[in-house]
């Protein structure tokens, strides 16, 4: 992000500078040079190095998010099922589910500070399981179970379907509540029937 | 005409290299098929240009041409053909009548196109004939 | 140099309006296609204004949910299939033969048939509005299974699919004719590396059209079959296959929607800086590389599906910054040392480069899978592609319009109105699309007809709606400029800007066979500038001789 802003500012200043310096000269005074392979070649190498650097950053981050995260032992496994236009969150370890979307309004409760494994699927069209505060989403595709492991800090987070799924895509929302592991365990053992922690 | 096939074939080769990279890293059949198709289409185009004139593969600026060329002014046939394809596919969804009407219009269009092309060729022969007279 | 002779045809030449519609003159075809595309631009713009009205505040009910879904689908489809891409082809149809010194395009009748197929496609697609259930409404990318017969039933969606097939086929045919023209009809002396910039950008664009549009036709045919009983895009594999096939077309098309306008902006800048474009060889090489890379990055639209190898596509997508950076280097190299005239075409060209930079940098951002996990499906992506396509390409388009309007019509566009047009559009564009980065970052998804009352969302959306209105006023100013410039003509002459390339060596507008006088010698990619520089040198020598005695 800062690189992007830096690049933009530099180019903007150079362009504005060039325009200010070189305007209103008579056409005969325009310079004739029109290439400089050495400078351009150096610049291309610079660009390629920048690309390599960005790729290094991206590959390491992706490895962390996609591969390493899923290798951790999760504290709880939650099945996420998207359908038009409702999210169903099932806790197979505890034997109950909650729903949120156009019909249900129950929150997705998770333990904070621990690895939570989501097994994401859909019953009809492609939806996308998205929690903006975690800067993460994953598609829910019918015919597959996508596994992703996230960890939450304590708080309340909005959730939203992020893949167009028809008439009431706007309403396919949910709320995630990350609470202390003890509160979560108590709530889950009560099969979600007690008050929301 | 000279050199015309070169950028097409060069670009096709770039595509081929990148497609191979994709295959090596991630061999998904649907991707392989799509990339192969694209490479074949581009190479096919380049080869067709080359076959039309051998010099299309040679480097250098085009040489001056001296034979007359025909420049058609208009083509009712082309419009009919384009409209007929649209009509037929529209009829596929909307009403069967339009599908049959479109097919008929297509046939008429192809017929008229034959006439137009032959007329153009006849005009060209006539011009060449006149040019050869002493 | 060919001599034009007219010979009576076997049957009478068609005159009048039917003559224009059946004309195989590349200039007439380019203009017809261009005018039709402009009409669809206005239509797509109306759709956008309706969408922005609905989104001006949270939970508005200006349009129903179903209507909104139709609107965003038809806005995207109309803009992509019926405006930006065909307009690029229209400009190429008009300009390429002139720039390469040809009298006509290759296969003009085939090209005309393609144009009419495209016109049918546009009309058929819009017919959906009159169908029960409504027009296409599964997004311009119409993912399966959302777009299948169960989830989006009805004739309107079928018409959308057929419309896309027709429009794509038409553009494919026309693009093929442009490739053949560049391959076969360059004037004597115009080797490939003496072709003008715009022609090179047109060439790589139509190569991408020829390489990728068949895939669109195929996937739409398969979608049609899928909608009518065939079980093609089923299950996980089916969903992923649809996206793989669609985006194999869908990514190159955005570069087709970019390169010609880049070429137009580059020509406008070079001519208005009175300096030939810097780094021509690097530019050509990077264009070819850019275009080839664009055909191998498509799965970056699918990072969140779990069905693709994110790393390979992150690699190719990030590499795109190399040719892009070269272009910017070349632009700056052209400006430095030039004699810059800040006419409207130059200003649009400069604004194109600066605004596109925002789009391009945000593109590098979403090229990274981990960053895309956050940005996908949000207004960040909407901001990214509107910055590249609208703040970028369309500004390049207008640079081309102000640059070439005198050549096409023989009249100059008003500079004052032009600058007003630019100012309104620049303000409106940034006001509309820049806040979208923040909205998306904050969690607003795309393709939603209503959004909840989050802090700041209402204000930002209102600002965006105002911006859209300002854009609309800018477009009206442009249309007024065109109308008044044609009514009270200021004759432009053959070469009002001291152009570099062959189209300026003929009358404005050009005669039917393009060049009536012999062509100037072609020794570089700026033949007219070469002549002018030679003139200058000779005049200086004469002056020195006189002075020296």
Distances from the Cα of C231 to the Cαs of C191, C223, C224, in angstroms?
51, 10, 11
Minimal CA separation from C269 to chain A, in Å: 11
What Rg do the C-alpha atoms of chain A give, in angstroms?
A: 25
**pTM, rounded to two decimals:** 0.93
Residue of C nearest to A146 (CA): C306
Residue C546: its pLDDT value, please? 75
Read off the pLDDT of residues B11-52 as tens digits, 9 standing for 90 and up: 999 999 999 998 988 888 889 999 999 999 999 999 999 988
Per CB-CB distance under 8 Å, the chain B contacts of C296 are 15, 18-19, 21-22, 35
Cβ within 8 Å, pair A29-C339: yes
Cβ within 8 Å, pair C234-A143: yes
Q: What proportion of chain C, given as a percentage, has pLDDT over 70? A: 97
Most C CBs within 10 Å, among A51, A67, A129, to test the C interface: A51
Angle A37-A38-A41 (CA atoms, 0-180°, nearest 5)?
A: 80
Are the C-beta atoms of residues C250 and C206 closer than 8 Å to each other? no
Residue A191: its pLDDT value, please? 81
Read off the pLDDT of residues C100-157 as tens digits, 9 standing for 90 and up: 999 999 999 999 999 999 999 999 999 999 998 889 999 999 998 999 988 999 999 9
Phi, psi of C280 (to 5 degrees): -55, -50
Q: Please give the mean pLDDT across all residues of chain C.
A: 92
- Tell me if the bond preceding A85 is cis, omega within 30° of 0: yes
In chain A the domains, ranked by start, together with CATH numbers, are: 2-71 (no CATH), 76-189 (2.60.40.420)
For A168, the closest of C65, C151, C377 (CB atoms) is: C65
Distance CA(C259)–CA(C355), nearest Å, equals 15
Number of cross-chain residue pairs from A and C with Cβ atoms under 8 Å apart: 235
Per CB-CB distance under 8 Å, the chain C contacts of B76 are 14, 18, 22
Read off the pLDDT of residues C158-199 as tens digits, 9 standing for 90 and up: 999 999 999 999 999 999 999 999 999 999 999 999 999 999
Q: Which two tokens stand for residue C229?
A: 């009983």
Residue of B nearest to C25 (CA): B73
Distance CA(B61)–CA(C451), nearest Å, equals 60
Task: Give residue B84's Cα distance to chain centre.
Answer: 19
Cβ within 8 Å, pair C194-B123: no
Mean predicted confidence (pLDDT) in C85-106: 96
- What is the second-level CATH architecture of the domain C26-548? Up-down Bundle (1.20)
Read off the pLDDT of residues C359-388 as tens digits, 9 standing for 90 and up: 988 888 888 898 899 999 999 999 999 999
Q: Which of C321, C303, C328, C428 is nearest to C364 (CA)?
A: C321
Per CB-CB distance under 8 Å, the chain A contacts of C67 are none
Domain coordinates in residue numbering, chain C: 26-548
Print pLDDT tens along chain A (197 aa).
667 777 777 777 777 777 777 766 677 767 777 777 788 888 888 888 888 888 888 888 888 888 877 777 888 999 999 999 899 999 998 889 999 999 888 999 999 999 999 999 999 999 999 999 999 999 999 999 999 999 999 999 999 999 999 999 999 999 999 999 999 999 988 887 777 77
Q: Which residues of A73-85 are buried (b: 16+ CB within 10 A; e: fewer)?
A: ebbbbbbbbbbbb
Distance CA(C242)–CA(B91), nearest Å, equals 26
Are B and A close enough to touch, i.e. 3+ CB pairs under 8 angstroms? no
Fill in the DSSP letter of residue A168: T
Are the C-beta atoms of residues B28 and C305 closer than 8 Å to each other? no
Phi, psi of A79 (to 5 degrees): -85, 125
Q: Looking at the predicted structure, is the pLDDT value of residue C417 above 80?
A: yes
Cα atoms in the 13 Å half-sphere on the side-chain side of B67: 6
Minimal CA separation from C282 to chain B, in Å: 15
Quick check: helix, strand or coil at residue A119?
strand
Distances from the Cα of B102 to the Cαs of B75, B89, C1, C167, C387, in angstroms?
18, 8, 43, 17, 41
Residue A30: its pLDDT value, please? 73
């Amino acid at each position: 992000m800062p690189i992007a802003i830096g690049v933009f500012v530099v180019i903007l200043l150079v362009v504005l500078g060039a325009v200010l310096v070189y305007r209103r000269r008579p056409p005969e005074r325009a310079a004739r040079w029109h290439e400089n392979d050495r400078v351009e070649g150096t610049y291309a190498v610079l660009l390629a190095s920048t690309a390599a650097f960005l790729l290094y950053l991206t590959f390491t981050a992706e490895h962390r998010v996609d591969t390493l995260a899923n290798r951790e032992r999760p504290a709880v496994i939650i099945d996420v099922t998207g359908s038009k236009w409702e999210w169903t969150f099932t806790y197979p370890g505890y034997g109950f589910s909650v729903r949120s979307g156009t019909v249900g309004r129950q929150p997705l409760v998770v333990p904070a500070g621990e690895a939570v494994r989501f097994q994401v699927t859909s019953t009809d069209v492609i939806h996308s399981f998205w929690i903006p505060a975690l800067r993460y989403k994953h598609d829910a595709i019918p015919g597959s179970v996508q596994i992703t492991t996230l960890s939450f800090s304590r708080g309340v987070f909005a959730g939203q379907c992020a893949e167009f799924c028809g008439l009431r895509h706007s309403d396919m929302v949910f709320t995630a509540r990350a609470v202390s592991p003890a509160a979560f365990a108590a709530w889950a053992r009560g099969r979600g029937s007690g008050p929301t922690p | 005409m000279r050199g015309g096939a070169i950028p097409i074939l060069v670009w096709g080769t770039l595509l081929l290299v990148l497609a191979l990279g994709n295959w090596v890293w991630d061999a998904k059949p649907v991707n392989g098929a799509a990339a192969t198709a694209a490479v074949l289409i581009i190479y096919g185009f380049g080869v067709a240009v080359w076959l039309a004139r051998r010099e299309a593969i040679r480097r250098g600026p085009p040489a001056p041409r001296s034979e007359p060329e025909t420049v058609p002014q208009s083509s009712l046939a082309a419009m009919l053909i384009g409209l007929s394809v649209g009509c037929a596919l529209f009829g596929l969804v909307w009403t069967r009548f339009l599908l049959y009407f479109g097919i008929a219009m297509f046939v008429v269009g192809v017929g008229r196109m034959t006439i137009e092309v032959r007329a153009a060729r006849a005009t060209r022969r006539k011009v060449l004939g006149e040019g050869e007279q002493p | 140099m060919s001599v034009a002779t007219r010979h009576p045809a076997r049957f009478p030449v068609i005159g009048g309006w039917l003559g224009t519609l059946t004309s195989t003159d590349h200039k007439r075809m380019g203009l017809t296609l261009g005018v039709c595309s402009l009409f669809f631009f206005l239509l797509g713009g109306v759709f956008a204004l309706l969408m922005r009205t609905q989104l001006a505040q949270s939970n508005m009910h200006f349009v129903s949910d179903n209507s909104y879904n139709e609107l965003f689908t038809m806005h995207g489809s109309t803009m992509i299939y019926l405006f930006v891409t065909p307009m690029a082809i229209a400009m190429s149809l008009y300009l390429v033969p002139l720039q390469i010194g040809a009298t006509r395009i290759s296969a003009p009748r085939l090209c005309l048939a393609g144009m009419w197929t495209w016109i049918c496609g546009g009309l058929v697609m819009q017919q959906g509005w009159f169908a029960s259930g409504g027009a296409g409404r599964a997004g311009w990318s119409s993912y399966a299974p959302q777009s299948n017969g169960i989830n989006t039933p009805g004739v309107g969606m079928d018409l959308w699919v057929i419309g896309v097939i027709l429009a794509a086929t038409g553009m494919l045919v026309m693009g093929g004719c442009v490739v053949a023209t560049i391959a076969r009809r360059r004037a004597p002396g115009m080797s490939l590396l003496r072709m003008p910039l715009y022609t090179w950008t047109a060439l790589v664009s139509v190569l991408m059209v020829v390489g990728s549009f068949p895939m669109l036709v195929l996937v739409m045919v398969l979608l049609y079959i899928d909608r009518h009983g065939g079980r093609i895009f089923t299950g996980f594999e089916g969903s992923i296959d649809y996206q793989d096939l669609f985006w194999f077309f869908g990514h190159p098309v955005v570069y087709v929607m970019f390169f010609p306008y880049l070429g137009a902006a580059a020509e406008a800048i070079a001519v208005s800086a009175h300096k030939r474009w810097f780094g021509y060889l690097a530019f050509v090489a990077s264009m070819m590389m850019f275009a080839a890379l664009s055909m191998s990055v498509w799965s970056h639209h699918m990072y969140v599906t779990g069905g693709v190898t994110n790393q390979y596509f992150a690699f190719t997508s990030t590499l795109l910054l190399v040719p892009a950076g070269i272009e910017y280097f070349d632009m700056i190299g052209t400006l430095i040392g030039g004699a810059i005239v800040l006419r409207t075409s130059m200003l649009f060209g400069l604004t194109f480069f600066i605004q596109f930079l925002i789009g391009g940098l945000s593109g590098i951002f979403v090229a990274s899978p981990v960053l895309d996990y956050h940005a996908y499906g949000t207004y960040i992506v909407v901001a990214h592609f509107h910055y590249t396509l609208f703040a970028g390409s369309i500004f390049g388009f207008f640079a081309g319009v102000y640059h070439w309007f005198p050549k096409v019509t023989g009249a100059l566009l008003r500079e004052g109105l032009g600058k007003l047009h630019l100012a309104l559009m620049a303000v409106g564009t940034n006001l509309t699309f820049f806040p979208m980065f923040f909205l998306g970052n904050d969690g607003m998804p795309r393709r939603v007809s209503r959004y909840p009352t989050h802090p700041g969302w209402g204000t930002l959306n209102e600002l965006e709606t105002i911006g859209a209105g300002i854009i609309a006023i800018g477009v009206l100013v442009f249309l007024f400029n065109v109308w008044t410039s044609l009514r009270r003509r200021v004759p432009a002459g053959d070469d009002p800007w001291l152009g570099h390339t062959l189209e300026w060596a003929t009358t404005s507008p050009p005669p039917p066979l393009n060049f009536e006088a012999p062509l100037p010698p072609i020794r570089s990619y700026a033949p007219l500038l070469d002549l002018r520089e030679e003139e200058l040198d000779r005049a200086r020598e004469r002056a020195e001789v006189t002075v020296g005695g």
